[in-house]
A = this chain, B = another copy of it.
Amino acid sequence: MQAFVMKEIGQVGLVGKPVPRPGPLDAVVRTTAALICTSDSHTVRGGIGPREGLTLGHEGVGVVHEVGGGVTAFQPGDRVLVGAVTPDWGDLASQNGYPSQSGGPLGGFKFANSKDGVFAEYFHVNEADANLAKIPDGVPDEVAVYCADMLSTGFMGAENGNIPIGGTVAVLAQGPVGLMATAGAKLRGAGLVIGVESVPSRQKLARDYGADEIVDFTSEDVVERVLDLTRGQGVDTAIEALGADATFQTAVKITKPGGVVSNTGYYGEGEFVRIPRVEWGVGMADKTIRTGLCPGGRLRMERLLRIVQGKRLDPTLMTTHTFRFEEMERAFEVSDKKLDDVVKVLIMFA
């Protein structure tokens, strides 16, 4: 089969690989659709070290090709979604309520990290009964595939933020995860959602997904504006969706005492992420900082599929580009270089 791999740091391309085989509890899925993520670019640039020959991609859907002897809930031919994170469910971290951390910090993140990813004609899924979910009829592949990571991570930002009904929320950066955090804040019943973003096309998407106000950090002071919009109190929840030290600092500053900074960003640089001491209430303002990694698992995926099945939101508004798998190199370039106002690049398989 063909697989799109990281050949070495900075080098990608299609190569031939054998079709994987499932262990007793596993499945192999024939890929039908996938999405490119900015973290694929992080990886190619060496963010998690050399991964020579590793297949990229962690957002995928497909059709079950083969299952192990111990799999009971799925069979070949089932149309399925798999989360970007595929936990080991018996692990101590899972027992502790944090399956994304199973097998060590961020250990649930296996695709394109500790094993081959989904940018291939076939991919392997561990603990299939627990990590796959059937896609309901009426939900197209190109919709379902957004549940794997974008909805799961973005919504997590909102959920971890402990938003009260009618509460105030700011989402810092309106990339795909930020947009889904915006939608997630709205889904949790936020009363005011402030999207921070400078790119006009993303500002428009933010409004489509429910932002009530847009703050453009290139022309306004974000802290001042957010305090103004909240009568000087700050927001109940600030969701960091970029992964930058400066943005994180802003998030702490605009959160009210008793509020939550909910992080979804991946911080790729620097020795430290810095908390502004005074605005953090010198460590005493009851401001909580939550973090997390994309929740996975069948239950999560089933719940997210219900959201798109019920048309609570249309994630395909984010699909700015669509390519065939054969065009993977060009597709990756568009995403990697952020060409042509790209938001998400969809890959369709034969």
With A105-B285, A288-B291, A310-B191 as contacts: A303 and B95 at CB distance below 8 Å: no
**Across the interface, do A293 and B303 meet the contact criterion of CB distance under 8 Å?**
no
Is A140 among interface residues, defined by CB-CB distance under 8 A?
Answer: no
Is A57 among interface residues, defined by CB-CB distance under 8 A?
Answer: no
CB within 8 A of A192: which of B158, B288, B306? B306
- Docked CA distance A298–B167 (Å): 13
User: In the complex, how many residues of chain A place their beta carbon closer than 8 angstroms to a beta carbon of chain B?
Assistant: 83
**Across the interface, do A101 and B299 meet the contact criterion of CB distance under 8 Å?**
no
With A93-B257, A257-B105, A282-B267 as contacts: A275 and B277 at CB distance below 8 Å: no
**Which B residues lie within 8 Å of A257 (CB)?**
93, 98, 101, 104-106
**Across the interface, do A277 and B288 meet the contact criterion of CB distance under 8 Å?**
no
**Across the interface, do B270 and A272 meet the contact criterion of CB distance under 8 Å?**
no
CB within 8 A of A159: which of B165, B212, B291, B298? B165
**Across the interface, do A288 and B286 meet the contact criterion of CB distance under 8 Å?**
no
Pick from A6-14, A29-37, A116-124, A182-190 the stretch touching chain B: A182-190
Pick from A196-204, A258-266, A315-323 the stretch touching chain B: A258-266
A240, A264, A302, most chain B CB atoms within 10 A: A302
**Which B residues lie within 8 Å of A273 (CB)?**
274-275, 277, 280, 283
Is A218 among interface residues, defined by CB-CB distance under 8 A?
Answer: no
In A276-321, the 8 Å CB interface with B consists of 276-277, 280-293, 297-300, 302-307, 309-310, 312
- Docked CA distance A187–B158 (Å): 13
Question: Chain A interface (Cβ within 8 Å of chain B)?
Answer: 24, 89-101, 104-106, 127, 129-130, 155, 158-159, 164-168, 184, 187-189, 191-192, 212, 233, 240, 243, 256-258, 263-277, 280-293, 297-300, 302-307, 309-310, 312
**15 pairs, A vs B, C-beta closer than 8 Å:** A90-B90, A90-B129, A90-B130, A97-B97, A101-B258, A105-B281, A166-B307, A167-B303, A263-B283, A267-B282, A268-B282, A272-B274, A273-B274, A273-B280, A284-B291
Q: What 3 A-B pairs come out closest when comparing CB atoms?
A: A166-B303, A191-B306, A90-B130
